[in-house]
Amino acid sequence: MRTVGIVIFDNVEVLDLCGPFEVFSVARADGDDGDEQPLFEVLTIAERHAVVRCVGGLQVQPQAVLADHPPLDVLLVPGGIGTRKLLGNQKLLQWIAGQHRTTEITASVCTGALLLAEAGLLDGRRVTTHWSVTDWMRSRYTQVEVLENTRFVDEGKILTSAGISAGIDMSLYLVSRLHGPQVARWTARRMEYDHWPAQTAS
């Protein structure tokens, strides 16, 4: 079983966080409709043991903190307007860079890509982000190739997705990459995310 750590912070976008949380926590072997054998453990991780206020007011109590969490196989960095305040947060950025040295996969949703860029992980790579920050990201991170109209980009160890709901598609793709398309299709079926089979067939 792999451990997925999702960083959370004040003004994180709700679906950036919860779309991937849902996908990874629902993923099961093809045809397994039980709860006993999850393929991933999913953890929210914050700087402090305090409730995080997401965009719109959802309140999430983190399950772990930067200074104390199990080893992560997958690190996922969501976006939201709260990312802007974190661009100078060296403690968080160094934690991200440090985790990336040992993760199997490091991924961002939406403007979470800004944090990966700021942590120095995106130079020389093709990435995507929310449409509203594409130009700004290009001007700030000149060594990063920011793609538009792209649901997600797989650069091997690093994946980035477009805005908000695109994190669901990237996560299902990751389930497919790690466990095969049948497991991803079954996971999408459990979620009734019926767009997915058409996408994998293309």
Enumerate binding residues for its own copies (CB under 8 A).
Answer: 13-15, 17-19, 21-22, 24-26, 33, 35, 38, 41-44, 51, 55-63, 81, 110, 130-132, 162-166, 168, 190-193, 195
Query: 3-state class of 41 per DSSP?
Result: strand
Could you give the C-alpha distances from 97 to 57, 90, 106, 132, in angstroms and in order? 29, 10, 10, 25
65 versus 157: smaller Cβ distance to its own copies: 65
Give the shortest CB-129-to-its own copies separation in angstroms. 10
Between helices 181-190 and 166-179, what is the axis angle to 10°?
140
Residue 125: how many CB atoms within 10 A of its CB?
A: 18
93 versus 110: smaller Cβ distance to its own copies: 110
Query: 3-state class of 107 per DSSP?
Result: strand
Tokens found for residue 167: 């994190």
Give the shortest CB-195-to-its own copies separation in angstroms. 5
Give the shortest CB-87-to-its own copies separation in angstroms. 18
Give the shortest CB-163-to-its own copies separation in angstroms. 4
Give the shortest CB-121-to-its own copies separation in angstroms. 22
Alpha-carbon dihedral 30, 35, 40, 42, rounded to 10 degrees: 140
Q: Distance (Å, rounded) from C-alpha 48 to C-alpha 29?
A: 34
23 versus 119: smaller Cβ distance to its own copies: 23
Q: Distance (Å, rounded) from C-alpha 133 to C-alpha 181?
A: 32
101 versus 192: smaller Cβ distance to its own copies: 192
20 versus 93: smaller Cβ distance to its own copies: 20
